[in-house]
Structure 1
Amino acid sequence: MNVLFLSISLGSGHIKAAEALRKYIVLRYPTAKTLIVDTFKYINPLIHTVVVDGYLNIVKYAPQVYGGLYRMSEYRKNVNRMSRVLSQLMAPKIHKLIQDFKPSIIVCTHPFPLQMIAYLKEHYNLAVPSIAILTDFVNHPFWFHNNIEAYIVAHDYIKRDMIECGISENRIFTYGIPIAPEFLKSAPKAQVRKELSLKNTLTMLLMGGSLGIGDIESAFKSFAKCKRNIQIIAAAGKNGSLEKRLNDFGASCSIPVKIFGYADNIPMLMDGADFIVTKPGGMTISEALVKKLPALIISPIPGQEERNEQFLINSGAAVRIQKNTNIDSILCQVYDNKLRYTQMKEIAGTLAKPDSGHNIVNLIEKLINDNEKGLFKYSFNAL
Structure 2
Amino acid sequence: MRKKRILLLSEGFGAGHTQAAHALSVGLRLLSPDLRTRVFELGAFLHPTLAPWIFSAYRKTLLTQPKLYGMVYRAQYNKSLNRITQLALHRIFYSQTAELIRQLRPDTIVCTHPFPNVVVSRLKRAGLDIPLCTVITDYDAHGTWVSPEVNKYLVSTAEVKEKLQSQHGVPAHRIEVTGIPVHPNFWQQHNREELRQQFGLRDMPTVLVMGGGWGMLNKESLMAHMTTWREQIQFLFCFGNNDKARAQLAETPLFQHPNIHLFGFTREIDKLMDVSDLLITKPGGITCTEGLAKGIRMLFYSPIPGQEEENCQYFTEQGLGEPIKSHETLDAWFGKLVREHPRDQLARVGAAPERQPAYTPQHGAQAIMQLL
> TM-score, with normalisation over the residues of structure 2?
0.89
CA gap 1:257/1:250 in 2 versus in 1, 3 angstroms:
farther
Q: Secondary structure at the match of 2:280?
A: strand
Is this contact kept in 1: 2:187–2:293, CA < 8 A?
yes
Aligned to 1:275: 278
- Cross-structure match for 2:152: 150
Question: What is the aligned counterpart of 1:265 among 263, 268, 271?
Answer: 268
In structure 2, what residue type is equivalent to 1:14? H
1:105-145 per-position Cα deviation (integer Å, ceiling 9, x unaligned): 000000111111111111x2111011101111111001112
Q: What amino acid maps onto 1:313 in structure 2?
A: T
Q: Output the CA distance in 2 between the equivalents of 1:88 and 1:225.
A: 52
Q: Determine the structure 2 residue equivalent to 1:377.
A: none
What is the identity, as a one-letter code, of the residue corresponding to 1:140?
A: H
When structure 1 is superposed on structure 2, of 145-154 and 254-263 the one drifting more is 254-263
Q: 2:370 aligns with which of 346, 366, 371?
A: 366
CA deviation vs aligned residue, 1:148-198 (integer Å, no higher than 9, x gap): 111111111101111102011111111111111111211233332233222
Question: Which of 98, 121, 124 in structure 2 is aligned with 1:121?
Answer: 124
Contact 2:9 2:116 in 1 (8 A): yes
Instruction: Specify the code of the residue in structure 1 equivalent to 2:355.
Output: T
> Paired residue for 1:372?
none
Contact 1:67/1:303, CA 8 A, preserved across alignment: yes
Q: 1:74 aligns with which of 72, 77, 81?
A: 77
Whether contact under 8 Å (2:279, 2:298) holds in the other structure is yes
How far 1:259 moved relative to its partner? 1.1
Q: What SS does structure 1 have at the residue aligned with 2:33?
A: coil
Instruction: Tell me by how many angstroms 1:64 deviates.
Output: 1.9
Q: Aligned partners of 1:212 and 1:182: how far apart in 2?
A: 26
Aligned match of 1:38: 41
1:288 maps to 291
Give, in whole Å, the separation in 2 of the partners of 1:159 and 1:283.
18
Q: Which runs of 5+ in 1 are unaligned?
A: 369-383
Distance 2:271 2:80 in 1: 45
Q: Name the residue aligned to 1:350.
A: 355
Match of 1:318 among 315, 321, 337: 321
**Residue by residue, what CA displacement relative to the aligned partner does 1:34-75 show, whole Å, maximum 9, x if unpaired?**
221211223333442332111011112222222222222225
Distance 2:353 2:67 in 1: 29
Partner of 2:163: 161
CA RMSD of aligned residues (A): 2.7
- SS of residue paired to 2:251: helix
Number of aligned residue pairs: give it.
364
The structure 2 residue matched to 1:91, chosen from 82, 90, 94, is 94
1:262 deviation in Å?
0.7
| Structure 2 partner of 1:374 | none
> 222, 227, 231: which one pairs with 1:224?
227
Q: Which residue of the other structure, out of 7, 17, 21, is the alignment partner of 1:4?
A: 7
- Tell me by how many angstroms 1:97 deviates: 1.2
Once the two structures are TM-superposed, the CA of residue 360 in structure 1 deviates from its matched residue by 2.4
Q: SS state of the match for residue 77, structure 2? A: helix
C-alpha distance in 1 between matches for 2:73 and 2:204: 41
Report the TM-score when normalising by structure 1. 0.86
2:145 and 2:81 map into 1 onto residues whose CA distance is 13
Partner in structure 2 of residue 198 of structure 1:
201
How much has 1:352 moved relative to structure 2? 4.3
Mapped to 2, the partners of 1:217 and 1:203 lie a distance apart of 20
Q: Using the alignment, how far apart are the partners of 2:194 and 2:80 within structure 1?
A: 55
Paired amino acid for 2:210 = M
Distance 2:300 2:106 in 1: 39
Equivalent residue number for residue 379 of structure 1: none
Counterpart of 1:137, as a letter, is Y
- 1:3 aligns to what SS in structure 2? strand
In structure 1, give the amino acid aligned to 2:366: N
| Pairing 1:246–2:245 present | no
Label 1:214 to 1:251 Cα distance change in 2 as closer, same or farther (>3 A): closer
- Report the identity percentage: 28
Amino acid at match of 1:157: E
Q: Larger deviation: 161-170 or 55-64?
A: 55-64
In structure 2, relative to structure 1, the CA distance for the partners of 1:282 and 1:170 (3 Å cut) is: same
* 1:106–1:129 CA contact under 8 A, matched in 2: yes
Contact 2:233 2:334 (8 Å CA) reproduced: no
- Which moved further from structure 2: 192-201 or 49-58? 192-201
Once the two structures are superposed, residues 210-249 of structure 1 have per-residue CA deviations (whole angstroms, 9 ceiling, x without a partner) of 4343446544322211387211011111111211133223
Instruction: Say whether 1:108 aligns with 2:89.
Output: no
Residue matched to 1:299: 302
